[in-house]
Amino acid sequence: MTAAPVSVPAAEFVVTKIEYFGVLPIFLVFGAGLISVLIEAFAPRQSRYVLQLGLTVVALLGALVAVATVARDHQGETAAGGIIIDGPALFLQGAILALGFTAVLAMAERLDQDQPDNFTQSGATVPGSPQEAAAVRLGATSTEIFSLVLFSISGMMMFVAAGDLLIMFVALEVLSLPLYILTGLARRRRLLSQEASLKYFLLGAFSSAFFLFGAALIYGATKSIKFGEIAAAIGTVTGVDAMLIPGLMLVLVGLLFKVGAVPFQSWTPDVYQGAPTTVTGFMAACTKVAAFGALLRLLYVGFDGLAWNWQPVVAIIAVLTMLVGAILSVTQTDVKRLLAYSSITHAGFILVGLVALEKAGVTSVMFYLVAYGFSTIAAFALITLVRSQGNEATRLNQWAGLGRRSPVVAAAFSFLLLAFAGIPLTAGFTAKFAVLSAAISGGATWLAVIAVIASMITAFVYVKIIVLMYFSDPQDDTVAVTPTAMTAVAVTIGVLATVVLGVAPSPLLDLANDASIFIR
């Protein structure tokens, strides 16, 4: 006897459409990262450096062109709302690619910033010498840095375009894990570098756990992880504050950790000091762009309806970040730790623009990120050129009299310090003026006043370094090596961007203003 067939209802399948042209820049960088891993595994040792560097440069420039030409014509939601390609996403992706390209040039010249053997004081190696052998060995054994950078940049690009909390968390991990490894790649100061890497990893893991727990609470309150649906639920669902607001605060912990805001900044000085110097520049510039891009989308799109709840909290954090960073920078004796506290202060300034809750706030934040990023990469690239007894001269007293021994390096570094201080005719002045104007127009004049006070404190620190370089007796064992091509190009790009964005900022400000509207 044959059993009657059981009728099973057909399953309902949801076909997710992906706008491939919109996400093409992300695919280009991530695909290049995969190819880079294969090169590292199978390419001959002698040819890895050239292949890896060429692939990385082509991928970043190609993705930048794709952002400007292809992705801009395919804006909208894609991947079931998980990725949103809009003005802020495209602007910030372009900024990450441009800054990443500049940082790669600086990193590629000396893959291990604490190994000076491939440089002489004149910046050249002698054929057949131990220096040349060290350069070949260095290029052959350290090329994994390119794969890590490509994966990190792809995560950053996805981070600023994430349309829901799950994609944002995945992007956070993709951009963070390579950074933990990059931090530990210094060789001369191996223990310091590995300690910084471990500290960054452990604290980063805790911050990711906070983010994930907060996302779970938000989902429990709104039954969604998509920012647009969360915003709609805030306006219609009542009685969810018990989970929604704590969930938002926990997610903010994960993001504020990445920007180095107080009280989540304790990792910043140690990691900046322990990491290879140009890796520090890459982290300081590109990670800030990605993290603040995610913050803008989270707060302006998903939680705009709770602005009265999160705006005072973010304003207080901005005040603490500016003052703590500025005050503690006064006591620093290491130039990398000093710039670390300076980056904390700048994070506070950017938060001032974020609190404005206006279109001008988005514009000022995006402009500030670009201006600060180029100046930072150039500053850390210059630090790698100042040497003492074969090592980087990072102690401030080693920079005494540098203006006499190496006037070009000292002049470029002084100019960048003045930009950090916000002196007129520099990008720093334009950026600070933009965020303060946005804060004042948003009714946060008191916040702008505190920002000016913090800026005056940091200006004292920067001027102190300039005085040390030009009005102190030089150290006998401190020299500045002549940069070779790629480091020189990276520094030139950073300095020129700082000049142009200070003298003629209108094109970038207009571009940022046109790109400051989110798709909700």
**83-85 and 76-78 strand pairing:** antiparallel
Residue 361 has what pLDDT? 87
Cα(343)–Cα(420) distance, integer angstroms: 9
- Give the contacts of 314 (CB within 8 A, at least 6 positions apart): 252, 299, 351, 354, 355
Residue 349 has what pLDDT? 94
Is position 63 within any domain?
A: yes
Q: Is the dihedral of CA 161, 268, 434, 102 positive or negative?
A: negative
**Taking the chain (520 residues) in consecutive chunks of 10 residues, what is each chunk's mean pLDDT?**
50 65 92 94 88 94 94 86 90 95 86 40 39 38 85 95 92 94 83 89 92 93 88 69 86 92 89 90 93 93 87 93 93 91 94 87 93 94 86 84 87 94 92 92 89 92 92 77 86 94 93 88
Query: How many Cα atoms sit within 13 Å of 285 on the Cβ side?
Result: 32
Number of domains in the chain: 1
DSSP 111: S
Is position 1 within any domain?
A: no
Terminal-residue alpha carbon distance, the chain: 60
Type of residue numbered 131: Q
DSSP string, 40-97: HHHS-GGGHHHHHHHHHHHHHHHHHHHHHHTGGGS-EEETTTTEEE-HHHHHHHHHHH
Residue 89 has what pLDDT? 93
Residue 512 has what pLDDT? 92
Q: Are 417 and 376 in contact (CB under 8 A)?
A: no
- Give the contacts of 253 (CB within 8 A, at least 6 positions apart): 207, 210, 211, 214, 264
Cα(513)–Cα(426) distance, integer angstroms: 20
Q: Are 356 and 349 in contact (CB under 8 A)?
A: no
Residue 111 has what pLDDT? 46
3-class SS shares of the chain: helix, strand, coil, % to 5 = 75, 5, 25
Cα(151)–Cα(159) distance, integer angstroms: 12
Is position 413 within any domain?
A: yes
Is position 393 within any domain?
A: yes
Residue 11 has what pLDDT? 46
DSSP 298: I
Is position 14 within any domain?
A: no
Cα(409)–Cα(482) distance, integer angstroms: 9
DSSP 480: E
Q: Are 161 and 298 in contact (CB under 8 A)?
A: no
Residue 3 has what pLDDT? 52
Distances (CA, A) of 248 to 88, 212, 227, 348: 21, 11, 12, 20
Residue tagged 């989970």 (tokens): 243
Is position 6 within any domain?
A: no
Residue 238 has what pLDDT? 53
Tell me, yes or no, if the pTM score tops 0.75: yes
**Domain of residue 425, residue span:** 24-514
Is position 236 within any domain?
A: yes
Q: Are 307 and 443 in contact (CB under 8 A)?
A: no
Q: What is the pLDDT of residues 491-517, one digit of tens each?
A: 999 999 999 999 999 999 999 999 888
Is position 268 within any domain?
A: yes
